[in-house]
């Protein structure tokens, strides 16, 4: 069975952290686990965008992505972050291959379109949501004994690219692969409520924590994707770091 690991961009931004992540993944692969990695790259996208005069905008934890920002997103995710992680994995002894969700295509997506956020209609631009995942390409890489490193850039069916939230992409890939486990590596403790880690999170409590603003920003799409994956058959889903994690319970999520 396969484990899908989604690694946040903040975990890959520091050379020391990147090397530690690669060593941990390589050790698990050496122990017999079949791993697929989906990665983010938000901090680097933001920094490079600011250098180019593109100020970041977010709505409900999602990056508003116009055409210019989409070019930047794809350049950083597929052209910078994936090679960094592939190189680190290989240095740690784990053969790896970088792929984009556009390759194949593996992730076929459609634009989310305008959505209401805090009572206002926001056009998210080239932000996409998966509609289908074709696992043949990543299965071929897994079958060759390598670790697929997947950039969350989707194909829109017309030759264009869409910025797919990495948390959502990881959930869809995990479900399509029939993965046993989905892990979100955040670099911090899991979901917090009142400063304490929520050990077990079900849909009812998640809805309450979202409504009260406890779960917000980038944690919101992560929690929603995790609940969706559990509802659609992934046996174990967790959010957090090596020491403290939130285990996500199965239960109907109003996606």
pLDDT at 113 over 90: no
Q: Are 78 and 197 in a shared domain?
A: no
In a domain, 8, yes or no: yes
Return the beta strands (E) in 137-254 as ranges. Answer: 147-151, 153-155, 161-164, 181-185, 192-193, 196-197, 200-201, 236-240, 245-248
pLDDT tens digits, one per residue of 158-194: 999 999 999 999 999 999 999 999 999 987 888 999 8
Residue 225: domain span: 186-255
Q: Are 232 and 110 in a shared domain?
A: no
Q: What is the pLDDT, as a whole number, of residue 254?
A: 58
pTM: 0.93
Q: Mean pLDDT score of the chain, rounded to an integer? A: 92
Mean pLDDT of 125-149: 97
Asked if 128 and 112 touch (Cβ cutoff 8 Å), the reply is: yes
Residue 124 belongs to domain with CATH number: 3.40.1160.10
In a domain, 92, yes or no: yes
Instruction: Identify the domain boundary among 105, 133, 164.
Output: 164
CA distance 253 to 247: 15
Instruction: Identify the domain boundary among 115, 134, 164.
Output: 164
Chain centroid to CA 153: how far? 11
Give the angle subtended at the CA of 116 by the CAs of 160 and 55, to the nearest 5°. Answer: 60
Q: Are 37 and 147 in a shared domain?
A: yes
Asked if 129 and 164 touch (Cβ cutoff 8 Å), the reply is: yes
Q: Are 141 and 46 in a shared domain?
A: yes
Strands 181-185 and 2-7: parallel
In a domain, 174, yes or no: no
pLDDT tens digits, one per residue of 13-67: 899 999 999 999 999 999 999 999 999 999 999 999 999 988 888 887 788 899 9
In a domain, 172, yes or no: no
């Amino acid at each position: 069975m396969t484990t899908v690991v989604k690694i946040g961009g903040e975990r890959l931004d520091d050379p020391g952290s990147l090397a530690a992540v690669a060593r941990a993944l390589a050790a698990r692969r050496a122990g017999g686990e079949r791993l697929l990695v989906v990665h983010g790259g938000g901090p680097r996208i933001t920094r490079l965008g600011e250098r180019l005069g593109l100020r970041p905008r977010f709505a409900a934890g999602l990056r508003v992505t116009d055409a210019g920002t989409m070019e930047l997103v794809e350049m950083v995710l597929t052209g910078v972050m994936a090679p960094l992680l592939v190189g680190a994995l290989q240095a740690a002894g784990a053969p790896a291959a970088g792929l984009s969700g556009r390759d194949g295509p593996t992730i076929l997506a459609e634009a989310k379109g305008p959505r209401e956020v805090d009572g206002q209609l926001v056009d998210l631009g080239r932000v996409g949501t998966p509609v289908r995942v074709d696992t043949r390409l990543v299965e071929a890489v897994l079958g060759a004994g390598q670790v697929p490193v997947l950039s969350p850039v989707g194909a829109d069916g017309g030759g264009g690219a869409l910025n797919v939230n990495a948390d959502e992409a990881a959930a869809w890939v995990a479900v399509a692969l029939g993965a046993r486990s989905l892990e979100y590596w955040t670099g911090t403790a899991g979901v917090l409520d009142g400063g304490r880690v929520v050990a077990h999170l079900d849909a009812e409590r998640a809805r309450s924590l979202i409504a009260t603003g406890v779960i917000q920003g980038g944690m919101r799409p992560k929690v929603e994707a995790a609940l969706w994956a559990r509802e659609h058959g992934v046996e174990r889903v967790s959010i957090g770091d090596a020491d403290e994690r939130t285990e996500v319970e199965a239960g109907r999520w109003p996606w």
